[in-house]
Amino acid sequence: MPGPIELNINNEFGAQRSAIDCFNGSSEPAYNVVVGIVFIQGAAPRTTEELMKLRLGGKTNEGVPTTTLSILPPGRSRAWVRGAKWTGIMSGRAGTEIAFTDCFGAHWIRRASGKLEELPLEPIEYFRQFNFNGPYDLQTPEPL
């Protein structure tokens, strides 16, 4: 079972990108990672799937505060999502979700609530059903 992965949002003022700080508490890396901003309060989507259904609808994924990582190493790292002010919804409170494949080949999503759910497919493939189509960033996160 993978260790906890905690996420915190940091907006980079004056830039057109937002940082998501990730913590992989496992001694093993996570693979095929999809990380994104959702909401835990307010009238905005509360899961990555709801957000993609609402905003993608067969269009490009530029309007979704989500990115992909090839690997998330153990420890603290920073990933970047294109765009800024994702958390500016009135009375909204942002959170983050992360979907990943563990070292045993199992696929998971850590919800903004902290709940860990198993996915039936690897994360990028899973989110394709919600029109999350490439090209994918497949960033290597920055160590913190």
pLDDT in tens, 40-94: 876 677 899 988 888 777 555 457 889 999 999 999 999 988 876 666 655 567 7
Whether the Cβ atoms of residue 73 and residue 29 lie closer than 8 Å to each other: yes
Confidence tier at 2 by pLDDT (50, 70, 90): very low
d(C-alpha 33, C-alpha 46), whole Å: 19
Residues in contact with 16: Cβ distance below 8 Å, sequence separation at least 6, in sequence order: 82, 83, 84
CB atoms within 10 A of CB 59: 11
Q: Of 1-5, 33-37, 88-92, give the lowest mean pLDDT range.
A: 1-5
Q: pTM (2 decimals)? A: 0.84
Omega cis (within 30) before 135: yes
pLDDT digits (tens, 9 = 90+) for 19-30: 888 999 999 999
Q: How much is the pLDDT for 57?
A: 72
Under CATH, what is the fold of the domain 5-143? Answer: Immunoglobulin-like (2.60.40)
pLDDT band at 1 (very low <50, low <70, confident <90, very high): very low
Over residues 120-132, the pLDDT tens digits come to: 999 999 999 998 8
Angle at alpha carbon of residue 48, lines to 87 and 110, rounded to 5°: 100
- Average pLDDT over all residues of the chain: 83
Where are the chain's structural domains? 5-143
d(CA 39, CA 22): 17
